[in-house]
Amino acid sequence: MQFANFARVRLIHGPTPLEPMPRLSAALGGPDIWIKRDDCTGLATGGNKSRKLEFLIGDALAQGCDTLVTIGATQSNHCRQTAAAAAKMGMNAVLLLERRRSDAAPEFYDSGNVLLDDLLGARIVEMPAGTDMDEALASTAERLRANGHKPYTITTGGSNPVGSLGYADMTHELLRQADDVGLRIDNIVFASGSGGTQAGILAGLGAESSSIPAMGISVARNADSLRALVTPLTHQTMDLLDVPREQCPEVLVTDAYVGPGYGLATPAMVEALRLVASTEGILLDPVYTGKAMAGLIDVVRAGQISAEQNVVFIHTGGSVGLFGYQSELT
Ligand SMILES: *Cc1c(COP(=O)(O)O)cnc(C)c1O
């Protein structure tokens, strides 16, 4: 894979650690579970979006842009990392936050990621639920341009082929780390939302002709629509990397752990959060990794992954969101 061909800025503390979770593995009595600590990417409490932003901002600077504009839900980890990256690079950030929920406790609207967005100096524009966010993104950029700024728009979750390069790169890093410690990876498991993380992982595995299954646990949409999102994005990412599309691995997804919807708590999510925190001292998040871990725990308990196997769970970050969900977790 030729990452040197792409404009890139350095944002993260990498390589992020690959660690065993012996006490969680013992508590479940199943496979050996390892964790790839992409919650430790470093930028303003870290997370997966920082890897995508290294390539997206590289592209933005190559185009002479000075303002990052992006969209997300109220407690968006992506928007918070975009705000931090903009600050670090001396750029402006404009965040359009869709207020999808009206029923949540006050901390949901002003703590967690929202507090950090403000501290990081981003301009926050709240949008009512149901807003056409792609249209809002385009019209905001248009207005900024009319006022003499040079905006760079970033789609939901930074999930386009350029952003996904960050996760092809992570996959390369992970496979090298596993080789170094003599770990045979039998499964990779992670949360899948806007699909860019999964597309990048699949492109990375395809580039290395790896046959490791990579299971995306949906946190938002049904399996068919997630697959329909991830498949073309994986192909486009492989095209950028000059990897033949025939090498595309199977797109594995499940929607069994979404619960009532995106960002809405489930009992299994709360149990997974508490189990990982109390056995390993690791904080997951309520929107993504908590539901992904609930899925992994469920398939382990159902005996679908044998005790001889090694699973790598990608911790994609987001624990600062816990503070926005306090009343739903206690
Ligand atoms: C955005 C996000 C994800 C999902 O990544 P996608 O590339 O949008 O699928 C997973 N975990 C956390 C913590 C996130 O913020």
d(CA 27, CA 30): 8
- Flag whether the pTM goes above 0.85: yes
The β-bridge relationship of strands 67-73 and 151-154 is: parallel
Q: Is 289 in the pocket of ligand 1 (CB under 6 A)?
A: yes
**Secondary structure class of 127 (helix, strand, coil):** strand
Q: For residue 2, is pLDDT > 80? A: no
Kindly state the tokens that stand for 185.
């990876």
pLDDT in tens, 21-35: 999 999 999 999 999
Tally of residues, the chain: 330
Q: What is the mean pLDDT of the chain?
A: 97
Q: Which of 25, 76, 159, 319 is catalytic?
A: 76
Active site (annotated) includes residue 76: yes
Q: For residue 1, is pLDDT > 70? A: no
pLDDT in tens, 72-93: 999 999 999 999 999 999 999 9
pLDDT in tens, 192-247: 999 999 999 999 999 999 999 999 999 999 999 999 999 999 999 999 999 999 99
DSSP state of 299: H
Residue 314 β-bridge partners: 36
Distance from the alpha carbon of residue 300 to the mean position of ligand 1, in angstroms: 22
**Whether the Cβ atoms of residue 272 and residue 189 lie closer than 8 Å to each other:** no
> Closest ligand 1 atom to the C-alpha of 163?
7
Mean pLDDT of 268-287: 98
The enclosing H or E element of 234 equals: helix 223-240
